[in-house]
Structure 1
Amino acid sequence: MKSRKPSLERISPAFGSSFLVRRYSESCENELANWHFHPEMELIYVNGGSGKRHIGKHLGYFNDGDLVLMGSFLPHYGFTNRLTGNRSETVIQMREDFLGAEFFQLPEMNAIRKLFALAKKGIAFHGDAKKRIGDKIEALTWLDQYDRLLGLLAVLKELALTEDYEVLNAEGVAMAVDLQDNDRMNAVYQYIRENFKEHISLDEISDEVSMTVPAFCRYFKKISRKTFTKFVNEYRVVHASKLLAESSMSITEISFESGFNNFSHFNKLFKEFTGKSPSAYRNEFKKIIVQED
């Protein structure tokens, strides 16, 4: 199997700007949909749509858009692709010291400084905050450089003050700091993404990265804080949750389509990971859709 190398994204703000703002539409796909990282922090607002979220060692599913803040060197996949139905994606990339080494040390910046520290673990924002702040993020693309900077500071203030958020990467593992580790983990992730519907043995995945099984198991747990089997099962559950929300397939069909060859085992793992049975998850999702309509 040929694995893509991890991509170190080199970010260059426009002339006269200290940070970068870009917007992708559904007809213009984010070219960095692969596993990549960069020294800049990244704030992403996905306006509408649903799909899988893969940031660091976090795997999740988002619906009705997403608003995420990620710290430096936290590896992630691009969010916009043909499968999610996203209407647009706005991305802001900035260094932690983009306004100078001392600016965010000012007492007035205390809340934002704490936000930046928490972003090293990855943060997803929900509820009213997601749409309200997301609209302001999209509006930045139309402002001149001065007003865009003031607008960004206002956005960061709102993000810092809202309580409607969750931490995604609880242990705060920024795996991309070590390029060799990132190379290996990228190969592992790519293999899982392409083969999760089939049984993946420890022998074959260890061989994929030229390691012995014991060495691979120790290595993977050290980097991801999970066993390989647990990680693959979580990936399968995330895929199943997407199918439960978006398809009319039966739960049994979804179980096998997601790589589980034992239906009762699927039910057990799904409930452990989400706190709900597959049927309860689907019913709850349908209620949300009805309320939105």
Structure 2
Amino acid sequence: MKAQFEKIPNNHHSLHAFIYENKDFDAPWHFHPEYELTYIVKGKGIRYIGNNIQKFEEGDFVLIGSNLPHCWKNTHQGSGSVKSIVFQWNESMLGADWLEKDEFYNIKMLLKKASKGILFKKSYAKKSLDKLYSIISKPPLNKLLSFLSLLEELSSEEDIDILTSAGFSPNLNLKANYRIDIVYDYVKVNYKNKIMLDEVSGLVSMGNEAFCRFFKKSLNKSFFTFINEYRINLASKMLIETNKQVSQIAYDCGYESLPFFYRQFQKFMHCSPLVFRKKYLIVKP
């Protein structure tokens, strides 16, 4: 099965760090240019990285290189819920050529090994859990500095397993990766406006029908589903972080019709905007 390209949001930060909690690890077999460090806090099942397939459980601690296909698939034993701590960053995290500086030589060597996937021993991983939670909770600059310190520490850990076999090379469509990047960046800038298929397909030098087939094949969803998903995710964020009226949020996210906004919100979030706000509100009225 061909790995799907995944676009990682950066939200103007050098480091994308978050705690994932859900019923399942539902990400498909996928890849992205960003490096990824993942710690499994809760869950067990099968881990797929490159051509490596292994069981995983709590304490699984893995560093994945750029464009290395991967996914976790949990089994439904115990409570059936999963949780992980995830850090994602790209090679230009500190600007161009930062890894060529002498100060970062050890980190450079670590990331080179990560191109094959690195599994850290469970005894070491367990000692790292509190540190990972601490990094997640810090403000952006302190988070970045603490994460660099963590990478330096990881680079000195010698008791590791390299996951993919020698000579493994993923079969990726990097041209598709580049095209999806262009489309994603366009939607990110223009989501408030009416997005025309002709204009988007023209950005990647494709006809409308060819573009729609390409997009569905690359992301396993239609382009217009992707737009609505993007807008609803933004609306969800605004509902819990601002006191704006639902109607204003709908218009701010590019919806001209309030009933259509409500239908799309119900489709993606499985509840109404007001129910979602009451459940997750973090801004006091």
Mark yes or no: TM-score above 0.5: yes
Question: SS of the residue aligned with 1:112?
Answer: helix
Equivalent in 101, 106, 110 of residue 111 of structure 1: 106
Tell me by how many angstroms 1:60 deviates.
Answer: 0.9
CA distance in 2, matches of 1:155, 1:172: 29
Tell me by how many angstroms 1:61 deviates.
Answer: 1.3
TM-aligned CA distance change 1:131 to 1:159, over 3 Å: same
Q: Which residue of 2 aligns with 1:143?
A: 138
Question: SS of the residue aligned with 1:173?
Answer: coil
Equivalent in 86, 94, 102 of residue 89 of structure 2: 94
CA distance in 2, matches of 1:121, 1:86: 29
Tell me by how many angstroms 1:68 deviates.
Answer: 0.3
Q: Which residue of 2 aligns with 1:22?
A: 18
TM-aligned CA distance change 1:150 to 1:94, over 3 Å: same
CA distance in 2, matches of 1:104, 1:91: 22
Q: Which residue of 1 aligns with 2:5?
A: 8
Question: SS of the residue aligned with 1:131?
Answer: helix
Question: SS of the residue aligned with 1:175?
Answer: coil
Q: Which residue of 2 aligns with 1:132?
A: 127
Equivalent in 69, 73, 77 of residue 75 of structure 1: 69
TM-aligned CA distance change 1:38 to 1:65, over 3 Å: same
CA distance in 1, matches of 2:166, 2:76: 31
CA distance in 2, matches of 1:172, 1:122: 13
Tell me by how many angstroms 1:58 deviates.
Answer: 0.4
Equivalent in 142, 152, 156 of residue 151 of structure 2: 156
Q: Which residue of 1 aligns with 2:47?
A: 53
TM-score (normalised: structure 2): 0.55
Question: SS of the residue aligned with 1:77?
Answer: strand
Q: Which amino acid aligns with 1:159?
A: L
TM-score (normalised: structure 1): 0.54
Give structure 1 stretches of 5+ with no counterpart: 183-293
Question: SS of the residue aligned with 1:147?
Answer: helix
CA RMSD of aligned residues (A): 2.7
Tell me by how many angstroms 1:179 deviates.
Answer: 5.9
Question: SS of the residue aligned with 2:125?
Answer: helix
Q: Which amino acid aligns with 2:114?
A: A
TM-aligned CA distance change 1:51 to 1:30, over 3 Å: closer
